[in-house]
Amino acid sequence: MVKPVLPGHPARGSKSGRPIMLLLDLLGRRWVLRLVWELREGPKRFRELQMAIGASPTIINERLAELRAAKLVELDTASGYRLTALGTELLHLFLPLHAWSEKWAKRLSA
């Protein structure tokens, strides 16, 4: 059963139910960030996500259900899983981190 990640419900490590705590709880779950990242270029079917990530089908199902409950991902029966408008907005917040990580990697290898 998927525990809702909704304001007003306590998050792991927090009793406040504040939205930032809920978001950090959700994003801190294994494979969640990877699923969001894999969906950045468009919809993917379950099997494509499983192949890209390499996690068990049970875990991927759980994480997709959590992301769907949080309205970050939706299932289009014709094309597969895709980011919602909220999910796309969240992804855009990751892009500066992606750019920074590229600079960081270059500095580490210099």
How much is the mean pLDDT over the chain? 89
Q: Does 86 score more than 60 pLDDT?
A: yes
Closest CA to 68 of 91, 84, 52, 48: 84
Rounded to whole angstroms, how far apart are CA atoms 106 and 83? 30
Q: Does 22 score more than 90 pLDDT?
A: no
Look at residue 10 and give its three-state secondary structure: coil
pLDDT digits (tens, 9 = 90+) for 61-73: 999 999 999 999 9
Q: Does 1 score more than 80 pLDDT?
A: no
Domain boundaries, the chain: 19-109
Backbone angles phi, psi at 5, to 5 degrees: -105, 80
Q: Specify the pTM.
A: 0.84
Rounded to whole angstroms, how far apart are CA atoms 47 and 50? 5
19-109 CATH pick, 2.40.30.40, 1.10.10.10, 3.30.450.90, 3.80.10.10: 1.10.10.10
Look at residue 107 and give its three-state secondary structure: helix
Q: What is the mean pLDDT of residues 27-43?
A: 95
Rounded to whole angstroms, how far apart are CA atoms 3 and 11? 10
Q: Tell me what pLDDT residue 18 has.
A: 76
Rounded to whole angstroms, how far apart are CA atoms 21 and 77? 32
